Amino acid sequence: MSENRTELSQLGEFGLIDHINSKFSISQPSTIKGIGDDAAIIEGGSDSLLISTDMLMEGVHFNLSYMPLPHLGYKAVAVNVSDIAAMNATPTQIVISIGISNRFSLEAVDALFEGIHAACKNYNVDLVGGDTTSSVSGLVISITVLGRASKNEVVQRSGAKANDIICVTGDLGAAYLGLQVLEREKEVFLSNPDVQPDLEQYEYLVGRQLKPEARMDIVHELRERKCIPTSMIDISDGLASELFHLGKQSGVGVKIFEDKVPIDHMTFETAIEFKLDPITCALHGGEDYELLFTINPADYDKIKNHPDIHFIGHMHPDANQNVMVTKQQTVIPLTAQGWNHFKSE
């Protein structure tokens, strides 16, 4: 340890990960891809094995005043499965570690695991282990997921080529607005407990925040259509930030069109209500857990009629060009705000 003190906020989350990464090198021949993708890739005979981990912390990732425990359990599994989906692979097993205080009853733990059980069933993964410890500072859930895919099907962030078509599934920004709605209702409730939360008209947005699904359906459908993306990532931090990851790791730039970015009408209207720009919510909102991927233009016909895949632009030969063409046809630079855990707001 030197005497210097460097604030983590100076590095940001990605800077910190790069810093940790720089201190390690790979020595096992079976490690095909280490730090830097949605999951690590391990040699597994005829297949590749995938491994990824994600932790949810009370007060950072969820608030128990509006997050029911079964939903939390489901979400903790879904966000892990999403990272396996982002490698174009199939999840197989999970291990779960929980840090829990005696403020929780057995019934509460049962409720949490009810959601975990439902997710295991839905994604067809086995819970095969974990660790249990007491916590003095809120609930912590850490899940590690294992997955598998045949070698030629595994998709990394780094494979995009210039002119590849950028595709995104579902719609974006809804989970972020769902969170805004929940936060607002919590404030209303705290100031006047007699007022019951009015969430009905925001059901879609709140559902996107509390009950995200990993897009394994898309992974299966791409497989059926014999379409292997050239690069892929799941949208956990926001479209712009994830586009930067694909562009940077592939050594190309990005050009997207604002009018092609899928935004649900509820997201649009609620953004306006909150005096937010809908496209900003879609670009930087995060937690959508949709898939962002690129395809070779030759594969376009295979998926062009898919109802839930949207074509929002293409990779640019110039790695320094990361732009969005607005609805007014102005070309503006993309910025990657995303969720940066240590950056001061």
Return the number of the residue (83 or 164) whose C-beta is nearest ligand ADP: 83
Q: How far is CA 213 from CA 109, 267, 288, 313, in A?
A: 22, 18, 9, 25
Question: Is residue 249 within 8 Å of 158, Cβ to Cβ?
Answer: yes
Return the number of the residue (86 or 100) whose C-beta is nearest ligand ADP: 86
For residue 257, the cross-strand partners are 325
20 near ligand ADP, judged by CB under 6 A: yes
Residue type present at position 103: R
Q: How far is CA 180 from CA 21, 74, 134, 177, 285, in A?
A: 34, 21, 31, 5, 10
The CB-of-219 to ligand ADP minimum distance in angstroms stands at 15
Return the number of the residue (90 or 236) whose C-beta is nearest ligand ADP: 236
Question: How does 81-119 read in b/e, with b if 16+ C-beta sit within 10 Å?
Answer: bbbbbbbbbbbbbbbbbbbbeeebeeeeeebbbebbbeb
The CB-of-201 to ligand ADP minimum distance in angstroms stands at 31
**Contact code string over 48-87 relative to Mg ion, x by CB under 5 A:** -----------------------------------x----
- In angstroms, rounded to a whole number, what is the distance separating the alpha carbons of residues 201 and 71? 20
185 near ligand ADP, judged by CB under 6 A: no
The CB-of-231 to ligand ADP minimum distance in angstroms stands at 13
Structure-token pair, residue 59: 């007060």
37 near ligand ADP, judged by CB under 6 A: yes
> Which one of 29-37, 63-71, 265-273, 314-322 is the stretch in contact with ligand ADP (CB under 6 A)?
29-37
> Which one of 32-40, 61-69, 138-146, 256-264 is the stretch in contact with ligand ADP (CB under 6 A)?
32-40
> Which one of 33-41, 92-100, 205-213, 219-227 is the stretch in contact with ligand ADP (CB under 6 A)?
33-41
83 near ligand ADP, judged by CB under 6 A: yes
Q: Backbone phi, then psi, for 30, in 5-degree steps?
A: -80, -10
The CB-of-119 to ligand ADP minimum distance in angstroms stands at 17
* Residues 6+ positions from 202 with CB-CB distance below 8 Å: 177, 178, 181, 266, 270
The CB-of-39 to ligand ADP minimum distance in angstroms stands at 7
User: Under rule CB under 5 A, how many of the chain's residues touch Mg ion?
Assistant: 3
The CB-of-336 to Mg ion minimum distance in angstroms stands at 14
- In angstroms, rounded to a whole number, what is the distance separating the alpha carbons of residues 269 and 57? 30
Residue ranges binding ligand ADP (CB under 6 A): 17, 20, 35-38, 54, 83, 236
